[in-house]
Amino acid sequence: MIDKSGEWWTGDKFQDLATYLHEFTAQGYPAGHIAQSICECDGRVFRLEVDDEEGCARRTCTTCGHAAFIADSAEYWTDADPGPAECPCGDDAFEVGVAFSLREDGDVRWITVGGRCVACGVLGAYADWKIDYSPTQHLLTAV
């Protein structure tokens, strides 16, 4: 259950992050689909590198060290200046969720990358970007 009583919203499970992302995106392009990042080793905790200006993110599994780009981030990574995502508590390990705002035809319009700090539970959005091409169905599984 999300706790909204403090300076930061906190949660204790991935569903809380999904709820947070739904509310975070509601005023702009509402999320129509939210997916949890899961590593090929089944790990669910990651470090994030993001560039909110260029619109890209990469996650690295804290269990096995495998790195993967989120959505279409690989296409923009060489032009990016990514930095590590960090929770206000100073920790950098997150459960990661990717919110997809969809157009009427089902194509992705907007991507928001969020995290739930595994140390303290703080929920946050660390990067978001517009998608202005089609088709985009492949993005929904690149989380």
The helix, strand and coil proportions of the chain, stated in percent and rounded to the nearest 5, come to 15, 35, 45
Residues belonging to the chain: 143
The residue to which tokens 């140390």 are assigned: 119
- In angstroms, how far is CA 102 from the centroid of its own chain? 16
State the Cα–Cα distance between residues 116 and 125, nearest whole angstrom: 9
Contact (CB, 8 A) for 22 and 30: yes
Q: What is the pLDDT of residues 63-83, one digit of tens each?
A: 999 999 999 999 999 999 999
Contact (CB, 8 A) for 73 and 57: yes
Q: What is the pLDDT of residues 2-61, one digit of tens each?
A: 999 999 999 999 999 999 999 999 999 999 999 999 999 999 999 999 998 999 999 999
Q: Where are the domains of the chain?
A: 14-141
Q: Identify the pLDDT of residue 7.
A: 94
Q: Identify the pLDDT of residue 52.
A: 87
Cα torsion 103, 125, 76, 95: sign = negative
